[in-house]
Chain A
Amino acid sequence: MASRIPLSAVTVGDELPALIMTFTRDDLVRYAHASGDMNPIHREEEFAKSVGLPDVIAHGMLTMGRAIKVVTDWVADPTAVVDYSVRMTRPVVVPAGSGVDVEFAGKVAAINDDGTIRVDLTATFDGQTVLGQARATVRLA
């Protein structure tokens, strides 16, 4: 677990570089195959609408998987993440075409007694947050 960021360089309130990632229908198909989650609400517009959704929605786990990139890009070694949790509060709605953008951001929320830090993450789509209580515990160098 070799982070390139030393603990001594970090202060509570520090913002990590934000990321904007585009979600397309093709991304959802690729994630369905890689994860094994073949639920048609993530692939079939007609089915998604039949169960009351506005359109096809992204897998919540895809949003979770992308959000942590804010941390893993920053520390370089993804295994520095020792705990990661999210609440999936709203879906990312993905219409056909060029896709939609989700902005991911992170902030150092606490420096823990054991030398780890807590990073609070946000994911914003269409002006609203789609993840709640998104937190990563990270062991720095």
Chain B
Amino acid sequence: MNREMIGHQYPASDALVVTEEIIRDFALAIGDDNPIYFDQTVAQSFGHATVCAPPTFPIVVTMAAMEKSFNDPALNMDFTRVVHSDQRFEYVRPIAVGDPLVVITVVEDIRALGNNDIATFRTEVMAHGELVVTGWSKLVVRGDE
């Protein structure tokens, strides 16, 4: 991979407007039946305006945004050899129905480990210009044996 790309920031992704359906489908897909994901009345009883998204829901938008950057020829990254090794989310506020989520992807680090490259992407998930959650994804790009 091209280490000169460390620090490079990609333009914001197209907005995904969060709906109750998207949250429900994701919660069902991870097998989590917490009523805060499904029932607005319960969510409101915990002080939320709408149903909330599960903690790993932001991956829906961060992975799509990162995949666009993987196709950047300047990055010189072979996506067919990528393994997702680490993920972190730091939450600023809950994701709510109606949030138009956009993601700014930053190449935070690229380093060699043996024959592999380890790339860390920071994904800043914003709504209405304000940070909602930051993600960090560490990807191992396997080199030649």
Contact partners of B25 in chain A: CB under 8 A: 33-34
Given A76-B46, A78-B36, A83-B90, A21 and B84 touching (CB < 8 A)?
Answer: no
How far apart sit A76 and B42, CA to CA, in the bound complex (Å)? 11
Contact partners of B63 in chain A: CB under 8 A: 35-37, 61
How far apart sit A1 and B55, CA to CA, in the bound complex (Å)? 13
- Evaluate contact between A78 and B30: CB separation under 8 angstroms: no
Contact partners of B26 in chain A: CB under 8 A: 34-35
Q: Within A33-87, which residues are at the interface with B (CB < 8 Å)?
A: 33-37, 60-62, 64-66, 68-69, 72-73, 76-79, 81-87
How far apart sit A112 and B12, CA to CA, in the bound complex (Å)? 34
How far apart sit A62 and B88, CA to CA, in the bound complex (Å)? 14
Given A31-B30, A83-B90, A61 and B59 touching (CB < 8 A)?
Answer: yes
Contact partners of A72 in chain B: CB under 8 A: 32, 34, 54-55
How far apart sit A110 and B136, CA to CA, in the bound complex (Å)? 23
- Evaluate contact between A68 and B29: CB separation under 8 angstroms: no
Contact partners of A1 in chain B: CB under 8 A: 47, 94
Contact string against A for B residues 53-76, beta-carbon threshold 8 Å, 1 for contact and 0 otherwise: 011100110011000000000000
- Evaluate contact between B52 and A79: CB separation under 8 angstroms: yes
- Evaluate contact between A78 and B88: CB separation under 8 angstroms: no
Given A2-B47, A64-B87, A85-B86, A78 and B60 touching (CB < 8 A)?
Answer: no
Given contacts A35-B59, A60-B84, 7 further A-B contacts (CB under 8 A): A33-B25, A62-B30, A77-B46, A79-B91, A79-B94, A83-B89, A87-B85
A-B contact pairs, 19 of them (CB 8 A): A1-B94, A2-B46, A27-B29, A30-B28, A35-B29, A35-B60, A60-B87, A64-B56, A64-B87, A65-B54, A65-B56, A77-B36, A78-B36, A79-B52, A83-B88, A83-B91, A84-B56, A85-B86, A87-B86
Chain A residues at the B interface, C-beta cutoff of 8 Å: 1-2, 21, 27, 30-31, 33-37, 60-62, 64-66, 68-69, 72-73, 76-79, 81-88, 136
The 5 closest A-B pairs by CB, nearest first: A85-B88, A34-B29, A65-B30, A65-B56, A79-B94
